[in-house]
Structure 1
Amino acid sequence: MFMINTMTIWLLALRTFFSNVSWGQEFHSDRNPQDWVIAKNYYATFILGQDTALTKELLTLPEVQHLLKQRHSRYLNNTKCADVACFLDAFKWKHQEIDLLVNIFVAKSKGQVGQSFRKRLMDSQTYGLSQGKKADEYLARALRQDLEAMNYVIDVYAGANKPNYPRIDSISFNIASKSYLYLLKDVAQDVLKDVRQPNLAFYESLWTAVRLLEVNERWDAAQLEPLMEQENKKAYEAIRTTDFKRYPYSLLLTLGAGPDQYDQPISPGGMLRSRMAARSYFDGLAPFIVVSGGRVHPYKTPYIEALEMKRYLMQVLQVPEEAILIDPHARHTTTNLRNTARILLTYGFPPDKFAIVNSSVPHIDAVQNMADRCIRELGYVPYELGKRISEVIVEFKPRVESLTIDPDEPLDP
């Protein structure tokens, strides 16, 4: 019962992204890439910004005003910066500021005006399972994670700290060049144009992180969104009328194989795995195929793997578009499974039915032994494995934990 309720709640939360959002006077009210980047990476901050009454109450508290005044003064000091370290100090939240804001926001959001925000946050499951957790504890974790995740982006995409996977996710610039300091000054000046009243200093680190992702060409979290209304629309609509009892499995996830060459849209491995998927689809194993893979290999490739695999399935293998769903964000095998688990939980698939995943023999071997890697990289295992039905196919079911945001993977959180 818990899983069914969670699926319904999370689907409603996702649909909120598709309707006009109110970020207050300064936040865009239409559906744009910046909204998607913020909502996916910093969901608590996103929905706090939508709750204008609560935001006004919290940000106008005297102790918060005092903190934001000091924070804004430090941000303005970037005009004097002569090295990257100075910019990082101006851009980032300090640990004591995070501690103070978390404590104040938790304490002051307990009243009537904060109840909707707290409920929406806990219902989303985006900061781990909320069942059995106190609202104060869950809210504190969410706010702290958001503020620290902003700092993480600033460290990686302004300070050139190594991300989890440097070969595919690292900064785009030579931070030792003089021109790079001018770029950081331009980023700061752009952010300051939006800080038109003192309480908006609360968003300086957020907007800086988003600008840094943008100039590094790393708005991958927003690419092709909203999927339900665009690339996945036909299949999403077909799910509602599908008789899943006719099929052994609800869907087939096909793992990609990133190209080695910069100008190669789809690799030989990607073609062959797509053929495996098409064969299983036409054999009636599952009514839907999910192709999963973002803009990953090689570094800064212009091609989105899932989109190219979808085109190959349609144009070469004659699979109908209404049978194909794409996940254009995953960057690793762990997130291929996690993101497909999210699709299974939010698109209306039957919760009690296994899905299947196909790939090469060694890749499926790796999937069957990937739990430790998932825990290490995600903090949880987003799926439950079933039996291996062939050398290249294994069963799996989604776990609700898959809805949890990964704060140190801003390109696919």
Structure 2
Amino acid sequence: MKQILKGIILMLMCWAATPTQAQDFSSIKNPQDWVTAKNYYLTYVLLQDTTALYEYFSSDRRLTNLLDARHNRLLESEKCTDLACLMKAFMWKNEEIEYLSATFSKLVLSHSVQREHLKKHLFAYPRYGNIGNLSLSAYIEKALRQDFHAMNYAIRVYGGGEKPNYPTIDSIAFNTNDPHYLSLLKEVRVDVLSDIQKPEQAFQETLLCAIRLLEINERWDAAQLEPLRLGENKAALDAIATTDFSRYPYSLLLTLGAGPEVYGQPVSPGGMLRSRTAARSYFAGLAPFIVVSGGRVHPYKTLYIEAQQMKKYLMEVCQVPEHAILIDPYARHTTTNLRNTARILLSYGFPTDQYAIVNSSSTHIDAVENMAARCIRELGYLPYELGNRVSDVIIEFKPREESFTIDPDEPLDP
């Protein structure tokens, strides 16, 4: 149990010491871990010390029985003859989620010194939303509960064919009524079981099912181009450290994408025009950096990452230097264009007291100006603070720390 506490404490120190540290995923080495860490962060960190984790499991008879039952459910699913049966085998049950989450919160409550240490660090960095009046143990319980339900959500959408929030761009890649599809899911089952060598590893089964279903749907978008800090964003990240931001009215210019509607088109006409507006603003000295934001979104299952293609356009056509361009290759909507750029502003070393600006078409900026209700509805919070409307096509904004909150029902860009 002490080892588990130590692991959680170290995890939360990595989370919470500063926003920059909290966004540092430099220890992650492969795409599967990127997808896991971004979607189910607390679960990911707990699994970094499985020896201690499994020791705790073995000390709790009810938990041992729960994991045995969960494992047997997956073993017995070999006999499943329909989709619903396999989905039940892949997912956590609600009562399992409640007991697992409550168990870890009790662990924290039982150690006063470690509890205070956790409070100091966890409360400083709310990756799982505003803490509000929640106790530390309740917040950890909330985080684990969110992870487990988020795994189930990914399985329902990318295994069971449930409609995601935006079906036209994010839906399952398979016909769930095709008789061959059940055979594919049973191959997923075999693959997951091949990674389970000990009974206590049943803790990982739902996670592995979710990750594998995202993979066969070609939906590991949350991992694409990572690590950004060492790749696409390295030149700009290095430049940020030596930039005198006082020389500029704004710290950064976010350029919203305009996803292509024609398959095989790297940059849409709207994307070209918005990139040109951004380049003019950059060369006029409004801001020292441009963020282009947009994932692999339009049209459905496109091969192109919009932000990456807009960066290429800015460099090759508009002659903006690479050290002035940052990309957000994940955002799938205007809400997350702003949210993800807020994350960049908070974690890449930008001044926190200076406004950034966002540019797009005039109608798009109209939408940004009136987007608060949509953010609350879709994200659960407002990730930015708006300033003045500078022109028809530009508006000011500042990031809010809430922007780091994981979105549990958007596994492609959590």
TM-score, structure 2 normalization: 0.93
Q: What is the letter of the counterpart of residue 102 of structure 1? A: S
Q: What is the letter of the counterpart of residue 299 of structure 1? A: Y
- Equivalent pair of 2:255/2:274 in contact (CA under 8 Å): yes
- Equivalent pair of 1:58/1:105 in contact (CA under 8 Å): no
Range 361-370 or range 129-138, more displaced: 129-138
- Equivalent pair of 1:48/1:54 in contact (CA under 8 Å): no
Matches within 5 A, 1:40-55: 40-52=38-50, 54-55=52-53
Q: Check 1:403–1:63 CA distance in 2 against 1; reply closer, same or farther (3 A cut).
A: same
Matches within 5 A, 1:76-155: 76-111=75-110, 121-130=122-131, 132-155=133-156
1:10 aligns with 2:8: no
Percentage of matched positions with identical amino acids: 63
- Equivalent pair of 2:16/2:125 in contact (CA under 8 Å): no
Q: How far did residue 221 of structure 1 move?
A: 0.3
Aligned partner of 2:323 in structure 1 is 322
In the alignment, the residues of structure 2 paired with residue 304 and residue 232 of structure 1 have an alpha-carbon distance, to the nearest angstrom, of: 15
Aligned partner of 1:32 in structure 2 is 30
Q: What is the letter of the counterpart of residue 47 of structure 1? A: V
Q: Which runs of 5+ in 2 are unaligned?
A: 1-13
SS of alignment partner, residue 18 of structure 2:
helix
Structure 1, residues 135-154: CA drift from partner, whole Å, max 9, x if none? 11111110110000011011
1:406 aligns with 2:414: no
SS of alignment partner, residue 390 of structure 2:
strand
SS of alignment partner, residue 396 of structure 1:
strand
Aligned partner of 1:345 in structure 2 is 346
Aligned partner of 1:211 in structure 2 is 212
How many residues in Structure 1 have an aligned counterpart in Structure 2? 398
- Equivalent pair of 2:92/2:206 in contact (CA under 8 Å): yes
Structure 1, residues 339-382: CA drift from partner, whole Å, max 9, x if none? 00000000000000000000000000000000000000000110
- Equivalent pair of 1:294/1:305 in contact (CA under 8 Å): yes
Q: Which runs of 5+ in 1 are unaligned?
A: 21-30
Structure 1, residues 15-45: CA drift from partner, whole Å, max 9, x if none? 2x2125xxxxxxxxxx000001000000110
Matches within 5 A, 1:282-293: 282-293=283-294
Range 124-133 or range 5-14, more displaced: 5-14
SS of alignment partner, residue 326 of structure 1:
strand
Report the aligned-residue RMSD: 1.8
In the alignment, the residues of structure 2 paired with residue 81 and residue 248 of structure 1 have an alpha-carbon distance, to the nearest angstrom, of: 62
Structure 1, residues 170-209: CA drift from partner, whole Å, max 9, x if none? 0000111111011100101100011101110001000000
Structure 1, residues 212-269: CA drift from partner, whole Å, max 9, x if none? 0000000000000111111000000100000000000000000000001011000000
Aligned partner of 2:57 in structure 1 is 59
Q: What is the letter of the counterpart of residue 95 of structure 2? A: Q
Aligned partner of 1:24 in structure 2 is none
In the alignment, the residues of structure 2 paired with residue 272 and residue 9 of structure 1 have an alpha-carbon distance, to the nearest angstrom, of: 37
- Equivalent pair of 2:15/2:23 in contact (CA under 8 Å): no
- Equivalent pair of 1:75/1:90 in contact (CA under 8 Å): yes
In the alignment, the residues of structure 1 paired with residue 320 and residue 19 of structure 2 have an alpha-carbon distance, to the nearest angstrom, of: 30
